[in-house]
Structure 1
């Protein structure tokens, strides 16, 4: 199976999720969602940078899976995620993100930017110390 995304937790509490450009399949997309949820296992405040610079457009069924994941994990995100930055230089991929958010709103603060540097600056401004009670 070719990975849809690679998750790097080496800078925790900052998580990097880089989309590989591989086509979404039921198997690799489910693995991406499961691995993303696993980032919350420590139950500590975190922030995520999604690097979609190389992303392929996920199938509509996978966009809906992503929206359902946001709905199912809303409380987990509200409690532990300070925010998410999306690096999306491609306007088509930005439109896909908007479509996903039309199915289900993003429950935490987020920023869509065109570079990793801009994403890092935004994430660095977030409060990663306290977990909401």
Structure 2
């Protein structure tokens, strides 16, 4: 049995106040807590915008989908532009199957997501 691991990183674009949160590995019930904690820390800083980069996620479970929806709602409530980077079928397929893909601001690359949140924050 292969154990999945998750790695979380954050990077701040000082020019625009955009926080990039990168996740790699699995985003499921086992890894949801550290990802949620990282996002809580980001929200606490009052960012200009948040980009959640899932381009290195190799598994997305239902708990991960719920985390994305909750993060989207939280950002909307606080007026913080939010975007998700997803370019792999292992992330896009579960989002499409659950019909959540239409509720999330999905982008195929970080550059496109950053451009979208910059535009939304002007």
TM-score w.r.t. the length of structure 2 is 0.69
Cα distance in 2 for residues equivalent to 1:25 and 1:112: 19
Q: Aligned pair 1:114/2:108, yes or no?
A: yes
Cα distance in 2 for residues equivalent to 1:77 and 1:116: 18
Runs of 5+ consecutive residues of structure 2 not aligned to the other structure: none
Which residue, 37, 40, 61 being the options, matches 1:37? 40
Counting matched residue pairs gives 117
For 1:39-86, what per-residue CA distance to the aligned partner results, in whole angstroms no more than 9, with x for missing partners?
Answer: 1213x35311111111121333x236526x718x84x42343432222
Cα distance in 2 for residues equivalent to 1:47 and 1:10: 10
Which residue, 119, 126, 133 being the options, matches 2:120? 126
Contact 1:4 1:29 in 2 (8 A): no
Runs of 4+ in 1 over 6 A off after TM superposition: none
Runs of 5+ consecutive residues of structure 1 not aligned to the other structure: 129-133
Once the 2 structures are TM-superposed, how far is the Cα of residue 112 of structure 1 from its aligned partner?
A: 1.4
Cα distance in 2 for residues equivalent to 1:89 and 1:65: 19
TM-score w.r.t. the length of structure 1 is 0.64
Provide the residue aligned with 2:55 in structure 1. Answer: 53
Once the 2 structures are TM-superposed, how far is the Cα of residue 87 of structure 1 from its aligned partner?
A: 1.6
Q: Which has the higher strand share?
A: 2
SS class of match (1:16): strand
Over aligned residues, Cα RMSD in angstroms? Answer: 3.3
Q: 1:117 to 1:97 in 2, by over 3 A?
A: same
